[in-house]
Structure 1
Amino acid sequence: MTVLVALALAQAAAQTDPVLAVDLPAGSVATGLDRLSREVGLALVGRPGDLAGRRAPHLRGRLRLSEALDRWCRPAGLRCHLLAGGIVVRAAGPMPRPVVRPRPRSVPIEPVVGPDVIVTGRRGTLVQGELERSYSASHIDSTELSRRSSQSLAELLTGLPGLWVDNSAGVAANSIRVRGIPLDGYQAIAVQEDGLPVQHDTLPWTDIDQFVRPDLMIASADYVRGGPSAIFASNAPGGVLNLRTRAAGDHHGGEVRTTLTDFGLFRWEGYATGPIAPGWRVIVGGTLTRDPTVRRIAETLGGGQVRARVDHDLRGGGRLTLALHGMDDDTLNISSFPMRYRAGRFAILPGFDPRRGSFFGPELTRLRFAALGERPLGRNNRNRLVTPSLSLVRDVAGGVLTARAHYRWSRTERYALSSSGAAIPAERLLADALPRLTAAFPTIARVALAHASDGSAFAPIAGNDRAIALNPVAADTRLCEAMVDLSYAHGLEAGGHHDLTLGLYAVGYRWDFRRAVARVLLEAREQGRRLDMVALDADGRVLGRATDDGLLSTGSTYEALRGHQRMIALYAADEWQVAERWRLDWGLRHERAAPSAWVERPATVDGGDPMTLADDRIAIGSGQWDRRQRHLAQTAATLALHWRASPALGLFTRATRAMRLPDPGVFRIGSGDPARALTIEQGEFGLIWQGAGLGLEATAFASRFPDIALPDLSLDPATGAVRIGEHAASARTLGLEIGARASPLPGLSIRGTVTWQDPRLQSYRVASLIDGVPVTTDLSGRMPRRVPRVMASLSASAALPRTGITLDGDVSAMGRRFADDANSLALPCFALVGLGASWTVTPALTLGLRVTNLFDQVAIMQGDALGGEIRAGDGDGVATVRAQQGRVAALSVAWRL
């Protein structure tokens, strides 16, 4: 019996104080504690003021958890105790004065986690471990960021549970869908850097991801799905993504990385850091890129960004951070293109490779718009940004005061070739144009297609005799924005422990927007040439044209808007520990906004050239402006119950009423009520389990959208003008997200995610004219466009012993979904495979090789962006879609200073 008792006690001790293989680089105490707590699945409890600015030397070896905590915390002046319920951290004395010594070149610089929170999605005075979360979240650490080496925000988000991510457009202006919410772009999530939004609103042609370029200056990222995101951020009914920039180091060092790809991309990124005065540290880094793009275009794009950050530890605890972010680059963004479509199957249309092709050829590098003049259409998107920011975290009256603020100036010259229907056989195109040309030129005998550049006849290629009409777009946007976020967190005892947070968020911005749209006729092939439709008499003489240098219109649409937004929000949240294992989390956020705008009336003029029909109706600005203004108020609320069921298991349930207030862009819309605020009712039930080398997180969610406005972009059949409308509807979503990780062997790591969801549109009726007769179609019960029912990802990495080589691979799969709300065009499921390897040649030098879309598959993501989102058509055997890029091989060389 004595032996059995001793064995039981030894087993219990081993479970509460396990032996770990510890390898913590010198750096932030908070970061090391976060890693240890995540590995063993224990809560981490401590005051952020005690952790702020404290650092520890390199710790490595096979140690019991209690010994590792003691050896990690003691040099930093902390006491770290291992208790049954978690790890408790307390200050043992004043912060040790840093001793500046030359830093070994072999030790990489470790990012510092901010002193206010360890996990995004909450505020408070205590640091929480993973098992204490009452919401769903994903963490991307520096190792995973380095492995992915993402060049766009969409690439960084790929593979996270609950997110449908489409990065097929290029580097910027991509689209995502969150938990089935029928909102495109980044309208459903807030994107932050160090806790402050990159941009308050997603505005038309001013997308948030146009101003985010992941590089070595991003240390980690947290993505919170649903839950408290609607309390701590505006415009976040679906979640919050927080990108943490790398903090300045106590020792001199840095890193540089160069990346080359098989399509000719060159990318340099790096940073340097170190102390500049007692208590002051600085880090400077950035990126330079030369990008011919994986898509075949006539231009070479590129540019760069720079970041600078100064950190200062305050006496008595706290930190002051001053930062500057600047950007100036050109990035690729493409629209949809033609593919063959028969009996539900897609095939490549001869002359256009959907994995590498584009319409941006030599004849579309520059284009003259009637309202805006000549523009470099082939440069795609030029984004310029300057953002100075400030962050202050300070202990005040036993609590923590956090102040963040930034001012932002940006300008985008965004060019696009928007799709608007299927490619049409040349003979049918000419037959359709004949009545209009006959009315203008009565002696016409026939219509012919000719290349606009030299007058030569259009020549079909084998299997492709089609032409396509596209909409070249030039959009100028400027944004000047100032925002501030103040919060105060304080702990108190009243019927249990409360971690109470009060906050104020305010923003004001001016958004200047001008957009001109033309219409061009091209060959339906890669880098297609412009085509003229020419009216000929019986002798073959030219009587006139339906086009002008290939343009069906030099200005089909024009709009200009000077928008203003003023918004203030008050929020409060409390984490109430009602019992040892039970906690109530609640939050409220009240927002008041006053969007306003001056909207210019368009005017239609005749260009006066009798030889062409292309200038008969040209849209330009009239110089007359109308005033629009609204005042709105809305409240979001959330309530969660968390139960720490065991040392390895946490359970939660949560109910949330989220919201999204409209931005000044709604004044562009000609129908509907621009004062409408979006509300979302959400319910969640989740579990988080962590064992030795294992982890599982699962969340079941349900959402209801009582009143939502679904956008409808279409073309006026008479003028070709872009019409902006919307349809009122409601919707609901049911779903399940699962994320798991395992480390079955030393050096082997496996991660997987699965999302199942069933989104449905309700009360959705669309009116249209068929043969001049109004017809109403009920689309209730259909799935929202683009949203798949099933998504999954699996990744694995293995470090080969005593070689310095790490191999990794990943598979991402997407189920069947639809290009349109009517569910008439089904998009096939697919799975993409990627492989990678890295070799640590020396402690300072690492080589990397990565191949994406290994089998060069055609992975179709969405349909026609203009006129095909409500009801798509197969275009007489050809559909308009957009696919992921093809196989890309990238080689990288990283050097730590």
Structure 2
Amino acid sequence: MKKQDFAVSCAVLALSVLSTPAFAQTTATPAAEPTQLAEGAGEDIIVTGSARAQRRFDVSYAVNSLSQTDVEKIAPKSFADLLGTIPGIQVEATGGEVQNITRVRGIPSDRGYLIFQQDGLPLYHEIDGVFFNSGEGMNRYDLMTERVEIVRGGPAPIYASSAAAIANNITVSGGPQSRGKAQITLGNTGLYRLDAMQSGPISDNTYFAIGGFIRQHDGYRYGGFPSDKGGQIRANLKRELSNGFVKISAEYVNDHNVFYLPIPTNDPRNPAVSLNNYIDYFTGTLNSPSLRNVNIKYRDGAGALQSMSRDLSNGRHMRFFNAALDYEANFGSWNVSAKVGGTKGKSSFDAFYSTTNPADANTFAASYLTAARTAFGPNVARLGYAFAGTSGTSVYDPATASGLVMSGQYRASESDFYSVQGDLSVTRKFETAIGTHDVRAGVYSAFYGNTLRQAYQDMLIEVRSQPRTLDLLAYAATGQVLGSVTQNGVLRYTTTLNQGAGDAQMIAVYANDTWEIARGLRVDAGIRTEKYSYKGIALPTTQVNLGDATTLADDTTRAFTGQVLDQRLKPSATNWTVGVNYDLNGHLGAYGRISNLEVPPQLGAVTGINATIIKTKARQYEVGLKASFGPNYLYATGFYTKFNPFNASFAAFNPLTGRNDQTLPFIGEASVKGVELDGRVSPIRWFSLNGSVTWQNPEYANLQNNSGADPSAVNGNQIIREAKFFGNLRPSVDIDLGEQKLSVFGRFEWVGKRYVDLFNRTAMPGYQTIGGGVLLDRGAWHVQVVGDNLFNAHGLTEGNTRTDQFAGQGTAQAIYGRPLFGRNFRFILSRSW
């Protein structure tokens, strides 16, 4: 998108918001603040998925609200780790601080249609960008986050696009009273972090808030360089009007995060043999200083040789700026809300991906002997290993170590992106002969796009933590080096090459009516219809030999053809929901709901080659029971979700080509039924127990294949990486010592058995972890010590998704995956004022 188009998009949406404050002086009743409602209600107040701020008990859907106090006792390592305490959300928080996996109610997607918002708007419209996601990839928790509200199912499809769930980050706003906080966090994994926040009045009706964090972290799996470095800053100005408020916000993020990927844990030649001596289960990683100067070669569309120099320590480097305007006011019986936000940023991504299992070094070398003799002549007597770039002067003998070697894939990606989004809605409550209607109608629009440039190539490494890259050399009987299978550690140059760009426009119109027929009996219904327009280009590639006769590494390199594909698409989606709620009294209630979710193809359909274009459709059913008695509560929700159609197709890594060109297309259905429980019990003043439990049955059904594969062995199987049973319990002992308050808290978590493949041949066993901490408050000072996985419990997540989705790993239990982090501790010191 051109710069002037971006500016015009911002201006159009800004005008829709700025046109409304002109009427701000015509009405009298101020808009109620959530904090004011909370003081009267004595429990959580929810604004997400609702026409107005309401008590959690009063809404007819599953929702949680996590305040800063709640988060203190959860003490999460990442945003995904925080979400893992919510019922119905299964997380794999082993990828590092960002780029983790969240799945909502068994929905078979790496991000599970969980849409993140900041004060009611996304930072980027789509779920995923180019190797970044608009969830925890762009949102980072700090002291400027007042609370996080998480809606599961319910009206989520009405209030956000492609949403089966919403996580809304409510930021700190200033008020009449000055308040601030500074916090230092130190960890035994080389963590150093400083958080700060300050808010207060500028004048009688104008307030400010500003805060953020800066952090450096060696990482839970140290790769020879810091895993996380950078931070963010957020600020806002809020002006109270006679009937509402207007708030201007800004945010800047500049952060590096290294991505942890699966590691081999056992020898595939004998799965009973652990590789722990070479790559430690809890701290080992394939990230390495040897990958800090990787040269990626390919040919451009004109046939010229190009190269990219990449450094793995850059990790996932996210830089973006966001500005937003939020206006809300009452005009008699009408409430007007207008929000607009714009984001401009850049994402650079460097990661070392797992591909195939480790291989016996002799067997691996022998597999290249014929090709080496063809390329370097019949005098090739044998193949041998040396450390990369030494021309054979530094020999590596695998027999002195594990006897194994392995390949991995270096992935480099660059993307510039923008997203401008705005929401304008009006809400009105009115009486009828049969009860009260509270109607909200609105329009949401977004203009967004990105560019992409990606190159992947395969590297040869030893099997150990922080591995060194290897060369596989062809030797004559005299010991002379005649050629090299690899080149400077590169097994295959640029096996995948993508370049494209796309722009999107979308508009959504939505409406929701909450009809209170009688006291305690409510019916609500909503509808949202969306139309999209995508315009993109993609550059096709072909396979070439770069022509270096001294190596095989460049024989199958991708090259741009010079062709440019102009691609257009105009998808649409219509979502609706109907719910019934009956509250027996202020403590007991029940509800039922049915929702329709349609997820149109994303922008990547016009920026890639031969993209699968399918509109995913899901029908969601919920039945809930709720009980709330002072500090004690229990919310139980039964859910059933059916996807039809559902795309269960996979493209797996091919070790012969280095590309993801092994495909198994399955289109059919996926269904998930289950029960989630969220509760708190405090039988005595100084003890409480919070917890969430989820049981679900995620399975494939009625899959069809048009290429001859038999889906009968997949139908009825447990969906890949989805657990049937997971949850957590969080006890807390809180003792008032007069001037001091002492809390001792724990966290017990469990995840059931999962499978790495469609056919359920290789299982990842269930696991349980225990964490805990101590918190001491003395006046304005706060001291906390937190420990995770205190007993070094073993557990695998993910498996090796590049190769094992089809046939598993050849073992009943996974021997390749992303293990849990080992025991670690953090010390937190803060002062409030």
The alignment's TM-score, normalised by the length of structure 2, stands at 0.90
- One-letter code aligned to 2:54: Q
After TM superposition, the structure 1 = structure 2 runs for residues 188-587 of structure 1, keeping only pairs within 5 Å, are: 188-201=113-126, 202-208=128-134, 209-236=136-163, 238-300=164-226, 301-315=228-242, 317-340=243-266, 347-371=274-298, 372-441=307-376, 442-454=378-390, 455=392, 456-460=394-398, 464-494=402-432, 495-587=434-526
Deviation of the 1:206 alpha carbon? 2.1
Determine if contact 2:185/2:194 at 8 Å carries over to the other structure.
Answer: yes
Q: Provide Cα deviations, 1:189-218, integer angstroms capped at 9, x if missing partner.
A: 110111111221113412122211101111
Deviation of the 1:251 alpha carbon? 2.4
Is 1:687 aligned to residue 615 of structure 2? no
Is 1:176 aligned to residue 102 of structure 2? yes
Q: Provide Cα deviations, 1:574-607, integer angstroms capped at 9, x if missing partner.
A: 1001112211010000011112310011243322
Q: Provide Cα deviations, 1:251-305, integer angstroms capped at 9, x if missing partner.
A: 2231000000012110000111121122111111110001111211122240111
- One-letter code aligned to 1:471: Q
Determine if contact 1:149/1:215 at 8 Å carries over to the other structure.
Answer: no
- One-letter code aligned to 1:834: G
Q: Distance in 2 between matches of 1:48 and 1:632?
A: 43
- One-letter code aligned to 1:369: I
Determine if contact 1:766/1:777 at 8 Å carries over to the other structure.
Answer: no
Residue 52 of structure 1, aligned match among 28, 32, 35: 32
Deviation of the 1:334 alpha carbon? 1.6
1:821 alignment counterpart: 758
Q: Distance in 1 between matches of 2:35 and 2:565?
A: 58
Is 1:121 aligned to residue 46 of structure 2? no
Q: Distance in 2 between matches of 1:48 and 1:354?
A: 64
Determine if contact 2:626/2:634 at 8 Å carries over to the other structure.
Answer: yes
Determine if contact 2:29/2:332 at 8 Å carries over to the other structure.
Answer: no
Residue 143 of structure 1, aligned match among 43, 57, 69: 69
Determine if contact 2:493/2:554 at 8 Å carries over to the other structure.
Answer: yes
> After the TM superposition, which of the residue ranges 534-543 and 261-270 deviates more from structure 2?
534-543
Q: Distance in 2 between matches of 1:836 and 1:409?
A: 39
2:693 alignment counterpart: 754
> After the TM superposition, which of the residue ranges 873-882 and 295-304 deviates more from structure 2?
873-882
Question: Identity rate of aligned residues, in percent?
Answer: 26
Is 1:832 aligned to residue 769 of structure 2? yes
Determine if contact 2:176/2:204 at 8 Å carries over to the other structure.
Answer: no
| Equivalent position SS for 1:427 | helix
Distance verdict in 2 for CA 1:428–1:775, change over 3 Å: farther
Q: Distance in 2 between matches of 1:292 and 1:353?
A: 16
Give structure 2 stretches of 5+ with no counterpart.
1-26, 299-306
Deviation of the 1:48 alpha carbon? 13
| Equivalent position SS for 1:196 | coil
Determine if contact 1:52/1:319 at 8 Å carries over to the other structure.
Answer: no
Determine if contact 1:191/1:199 at 8 Å carries over to the other structure.
Answer: no
Determine if contact 1:499/1:575 at 8 Å carries over to the other structure.
Answer: yes
1:853 alignment counterpart: 789
Determine if contact 1:418/1:865 at 8 Å carries over to the other structure.
Answer: no
- One-letter code aligned to 2:790: L
1:698 alignment counterpart: 636
1:646 alignment counterpart: 585
Deviation of the 1:625 alpha carbon? 1.1
Q: Distance in 1 between matches of 2:208 and 2:732?
A: 34
Distance verdict in 2 for CA 1:640–1:776, change over 3 Å: closer
Is 1:884 aligned to residue 823 of structure 2? no
Distance verdict in 2 for CA 1:876–1:364, change over 3 Å: farther
> After the TM superposition, which of the residue ranges 878-887 and 794-803 deviates more from structure 2?
878-887
Distance verdict in 2 for CA 1:444–1:345, change over 3 Å: closer
Q: Distance in 2 between matches of 1:794 and 1:643?
A: 29
- One-letter code aligned to 1:534: L
1:666 alignment counterpart: 605
- One-letter code aligned to 1:215: D
Q: Distance in 1 between matches of 2:769 and 2:755?
A: 19
Q: Distance in 1 between matches of 2:724 and 2:580?
A: 29
Determine if contact 1:768/1:775 at 8 Å carries over to the other structure.
Answer: no
Deviation of the 1:527 alpha carbon? 0.7
Q: Provide Cα deviations, 1:383-418, integer angstroms capped at 9, x if missing partner.
A: 101000010001124211101110101111101111
| Equivalent position SS for 2:418 | strand
Is 1:619 aligned to residue 558 of structure 2? yes
Q: Distance in 1 between matches of 2:359 and 2:643?
A: 39
Deviation of the 1:678 alpha carbon? 1.2
Distance verdict in 2 for CA 1:247–1:577, change over 3 Å: same
Distance verdict in 2 for CA 1:55–1:246, change over 3 Å: closer
Determine if contact 1:303/1:329 at 8 Å carries over to the other structure.
Answer: yes
Deviation of the 1:424 alpha carbon? 0.8
Deviation of the 1:461 alpha carbon? 6.7
| Equivalent position SS for 1:482 | strand
Give structure 1 stretches of 5+ with no counterpart.
1-46, 57-68, 74-79, 81-85, 88-111
Q: Provide Cα deviations, 1:418-462, integer angstroms capped at 9, x if missing partner.
A: 111211111111122222222223221111122114332223377
2:15 alignment counterpart: none
| Equivalent position SS for 1:822 | coil
1:605 alignment counterpart: 544
| Equivalent position SS for 1:333 | coil
2:9 alignment counterpart: none
Determine if contact 2:654/2:662 at 8 Å carries over to the other structure.
Answer: no
- One-letter code aligned to 1:832: T
Determine if contact 1:765/1:777 at 8 Å carries over to the other structure.
Answer: no
- One-letter code aligned to 1:377: L
Deviation of the 1:624 alpha carbon? 2.4
Distance verdict in 2 for CA 1:680–1:54, change over 3 Å: closer
| Equivalent position SS for 1:248 | coil
After TM superposition, the structure 1 = structure 2 runs for residues 768-783 of structure 1, keeping only pairs within 5 Å, are: 778-783=713-718
Query: Which protein is bigger by CA-based radius of gyration?
Result: 1
1:109 alignment counterpart: none
- One-letter code aligned to 1:173: Q
Q: Distance in 1 between matches of 2:232 and 2:813?
A: 44
1:36 alignment counterpart: none
- One-letter code aligned to 1:646: N
Distance verdict in 2 for CA 1:341–1:825, change over 3 Å: farther
Q: Distance in 2 between matches of 1:768 and 1:444?
A: 42
Determine if contact 2:150/2:166 at 8 Å carries over to the other structure.
Answer: yes
Deviation of the 1:375 alpha carbon? 1.3
1:731 alignment counterpart: 670
Q: Distance in 2 between matches of 1:783 and 1:297?
A: 34
- RMSD value over aligned CA atoms? 2.5
Q: Distance in 1 between matches of 2:475 and 2:819?
A: 39
Residue 732 of structure 2, aligned match among 782, 797, 800: 797
Determine if contact 1:563/1:664 at 8 Å carries over to the other structure.
Answer: yes
Residue 163 of structure 1, aligned match among 83, 89, 110: 89
2:7 alignment counterpart: none
Distance verdict in 2 for CA 1:499–1:700, change over 3 Å: same
Q: Distance in 2 between matches of 1:560 and 1:151?
A: 35
